[in-house]
Amino acid sequence: MGTLGNPKNTIEILNKYSFAFQKKFGQNFLIDNHVLGKIVRAADITEDDFVLEIGPGIGTLTQYLCESAREVLAIEIDKKLIPILQETLADYDNVSILNEDILKVDIASLVKEYNNNKPVKVVANLPYYITTPIIMDLFEKHVPLSGVTIMIQKEVADRIKAGPGSKEYGALSLAVQYYAKPYIAANVPPNCFMPRPKIGSAVINLTPHQTPPFNVENESLLFSLIRASFNQRRKTLVNGIYNYEGLHFSKEDIIGVLDAMGIPNNIRGEALSLEQFVGISNHLLKYF
């Protein structure tokens, strides 16, 4: 069987197994060899790499990963795809397939079990509804990562990469940039998928920081402040933090910290850089 990046081969295998696309799993399979090559290049996969692939589908990208990587662990939620994967990946002896929900498995313990706790590269073509939880899970649980390369909705990729002052900038931009450096490797139009999604996608590469870019004294306070300031975008930072459930700072304390940092009191969260959020968080800690 030829590569699945060829639409004819994809249609053939789907018909053979009478496969029906599941809307709830956000299934859109890639049918473009050019894009597949771009993903593998963006992920910089070498024969030393252990790759964790989330949502292999029918194995289109998995075939490419098996060609380049030392070992691939593919995690697929849809049990109807498992026999298809066993067929499409039959030629490779460096791949394991797990029928699991990625949001329910302990990724860190999988990395321990399959790769001796050494850093892995995560590659995925992600359905939009689980994009944010998966990305945050990988970073917040401190899974040993040497890189994350994912195909996601273009607008989410733009949000991840956004800087202060732009309308895309928000809690997701800050959270991801706290852990990694984002780079958009390719924009991918809807006609590269089957079925064709309504919106464009992008391949984004996240390179984890080897050492944290800033000294954060309390990570959970920092993330609460970030969430508080984007919870209601039109509010000033002072009101956002003051009204946020779970934070108990007086307005005087918040304004005092902003004054000490030379930040205007009427500023909104969207105007502040990650470095400024870290500064506010470290200063507010004494009132926490």
- Within a 13 Å sphere around the CA of 112, how many CA atoms are in the beta-carbon half? 7
**One domain, residues 115 and 26:** yes
**One domain, residues 53 and 159:** yes
Could you say which of 184, 208, 232 is where a domain stops? 208
Could you say which of 167, 182, 208 is where a domain stops? 208
**One domain, residues 259 and 183:** no
pLDDT tens digits for range 170-224: 999 999 999 999 999 999 999 999 999 999 999 999 999 998 889 999 999 999 9
pLDDT over 60 (residue 1):
no
**One domain, residues 182 and 50:** yes
Domain containing 255 — which CATH number? 1.10.8.100
Q: Is residue 192 a contact partner of residue 30, using CB atoms and an 8 Å limit? A: yes
Beta carbons within 8 Å of 140's beta carbon, 6+ residues apart: none
Q: Please count the residues of the chain.
A: 288
SS3 at position 97? strand
**One domain, residues 17 and 46:** yes
Plot region of 97 (φ>0 → left; ψ -120 to 50 → alpha; else → beta): beta
pTM of the model: 0.92
Give residue 230's domain range: 219-287
**One domain, residues 223 and 272:** yes
Residue 213 forms part of a structural domain: no
**One domain, residues 170 and 240:** no
pLDDT over 60 (residue 79):
yes
SS3 at position 258? helix
Say how far apart CA 170 and CA 274 lie, in whole Å.
Answer: 11
Could you say which of 208, 236, 266 is where a domain stops? 208
Q: Which tokens is 105 given? A: 């498995």
Domain containing 19 — which CATH number? 3.40.50.150
pLDDT of residue 232: 82
**One domain, residues 247 and 181:** no
Say how far apart CA 102 and CA 130 lie, in whole Å.
Answer: 10
**One domain, residues 200 and 224:** no
SS3 at position 187? strand
pLDDT tens digits for range 225-280: 999 999 887 899 999 999 999 899 999 999 999 999 999 999 999 999 999 999 99
Say how far apart CA 261 and CA 278 lie, in whole Å.
Answer: 11
Residue 130 forms part of a structural domain: yes
User: How many structural domains are present in the chain?
Assistant: 2
pLDDT tens digits for range 116-169: 999 999 999 988 888 999 999 999 898 999 999 999 999 999 999 999 999 999
**One domain, residues 42 and 63:** yes
